[in-house]
Amino acid sequence: MDEDDELAARRRAMVDLQIDARGIRDPALLAAMREVPRHEFVAASLRREAYDDTPLPIEERQTISQPYIVALMLEAARIGPRDRVLEVGAGSGYASAVASRLAAHVDAIERHPRLVELARERLARLGFANVDVHGGDGSTGWAAGAPYDAIVVAAAGPRVPDALREQLAPGGRLVMPVGGEHGAQRLVRLVRESDGRFRETDLGGVMFVPLVGAQGWSAGSNDT
């Protein structure tokens, strides 16, 4: 078996054993995860680990999230084919690539310029044309593209930023880890009701790198 076939077989097994078997049901999401080559979003030395059940290190001391967590967040965001999506914390660009297969358009924001550059290069090379990667502080969202039908935040903040609530369309869903900078965090989903109120659901315990920015944590020695 050549390397491409072997990686494709690993990707199918990842979806069957880590995603489908754990209860992710959205057929479009399962299809997108079968299709998006996660091994293209990590360093060459990590390609063979790309379909393991774990987060992996990327540049700038950041991480590409565990595949199951990406699936859990995207399913919870209930992304449909006409939706406009904002991802805060683009990192490698992998989750944006998966989201782009479900949505009409994805804006992704990343604070590390080097990661922005790499994510843009990968997404363009692989043909993910409906994703724009922006550099900057996503804790204040991306007002130019608002309102969003779904907002997915891939870094943990002390609370859901007001700016992100404001950029959610009526009926929109926001999924984000909230809690300690380096410890116990809960994955929460907010739904903006048509009367403007927010309904919150706790989706369980998670562990994410910190959201560093004006409406997140301040940058410091543990700025990972």
**Catalytic machinery residues:** 65
CB 89 within 8 A of CB 153: yes
- In the complex, minimum distance from the CB of residue 27 to ligand SAM, in angstroms, rounded to a whole number: 21
Partners of 175 in the β-ladder: 152, 189
Question: Which residues, listed in sequence order, are joined to residue 212 by a DSSP beta bridge?
Answer: 217
Q: Bridge-partner residues for 70, per DSSP?
A: none
**Is residue 88 classed as helix, strand or coil in its secondary structure?**
strand
Asked if 214 contacts 136 with a C-beta cutoff of 8 angstroms, the reply is no
Q: State which of residues 67, 89, 141, 179 lies at the interface with ligand SAM (CB under 6 A).
A: 89
* Shortest CB 7 distance to ligand SAM, Å: 17
The interface region with ligand SAM, picked from 13-21, 92-100, 162-170, 183-191 by CB under 6 A, is: 92-100
Cis amide prior to 147 (ω within 30 degrees): yes
Site map (CB under 6 A) of ligand SAM, residues 162-201, x = contact:
----------------------------------------
Q: Which of residues 119-138 bind ligand SAM (CB under 6 A)?
A: 137-138
Which residues, 6 or more positions from 15, have their beta carbon under 8 angstroms from its beta carbon?
Answer: 30, 33, 34
Contact 38, 67 (CB under 8 A): yes
Q: Tell which one of 100, 139, 167, 185 touches ligand SAM (CB under 6 A).
A: 139
Residue 63 in the binding site for ligand SAM (CB under 6 A)? yes
Give whichever of 109 and 190 is closer to ligand SAM, judged by the CB atom.
109
The residue ranges that bind ligand SAM (CB under 6 A) are: 62-65, 88-89, 91-92, 94-95, 109-112, 115, 137-139, 154-155, 208-209, 211-213, 216
